[in-house]
Structure 1
Amino acid sequence: MPQTDIRPRAIVLLTDVDTSRRDEPGCLYHRDGRPLTTAEYHLLATCTPAEMDTAVAHTQPVGNWMSERHTMQKALISLYMKYAHQMPDDFPGSVYDLMTDDDYAEFEHLAEILSADDALEEPIGHDLD
């Protein structure tokens, strides 16, 4: 079996990060609402561009109807990882503290669009009492 630089655990983690939650800046969550652990942050900080591409491709739905959304998700993850790779282990702040004003504004813009898309995708229940 050929050796690959892509780690399955990294792919699984990347596909499970909830990009819609922004209630606590600097904190990332799983899609089920659990916060990422310290070990998961370390794994995320070491994700390679190939792993990010694989994660995005893995979540790509059949057809092109959501390709723009996935392009934005990839851009959001790439922007986050640009700074996560630079963050020293003993840095007391968050990745967002390292971002330039322009990158932070772009991150916020992408996150806002993705959050709005997530809200539209949730099923709406009509309970009649």
Structure 2
Amino acid sequence: MPETDIRPRPDIVALLSDTDFKRRRDTRAWSHRDGRPFSKEEQAFALRATRGEFEELSAQLGRYTEYKHTKDESPEAFQRFLAPFMEQLTQKKLGNAVQLMTEDERTEFDRLLGLVIEPILPFCAYAFRRRSTSLHDRREETTGSRDLTQRHCGVPKRGLLSPTT
């Protein structure tokens, strides 16, 4: 694998995120997660992946695993969040509980409710952003200089073998 590229190329990371890494006997190539074999071009493209691109894929898979864990725990977290409000009410209705909440508590309520009612999203490259810990990281995310704000599943629209910019 070439090690000359410093930043992961989004198109390669996107292809790797859709890869079943078990080599198929019939094509001697990897395949997509849906079972379609890689074309010769896709296989050659994936084989040019750098260590950094595999590390980026691993980091994204880690963020997806964290997301799924949060989704799995969300019903219980929602109940724990609501319990103190419901205890204060004689008529235990959700609307009544919301009226007791501060703006920050309503924000948390909306977040937890969204986690509970929305279906689990499938994994795809760049769908699950890293959490910013510094102003510098947030600035890079909003300017797109690290390409973390893109959301695309599969290969970007510009084409598989297009040069990256």
Give the TM bin, normalised by the shorter chain.
0.3 to 0.5
Larger helix proportion of the pair = 1
- Taking structure 1 as the reference length, the TM-score comes to 0.40
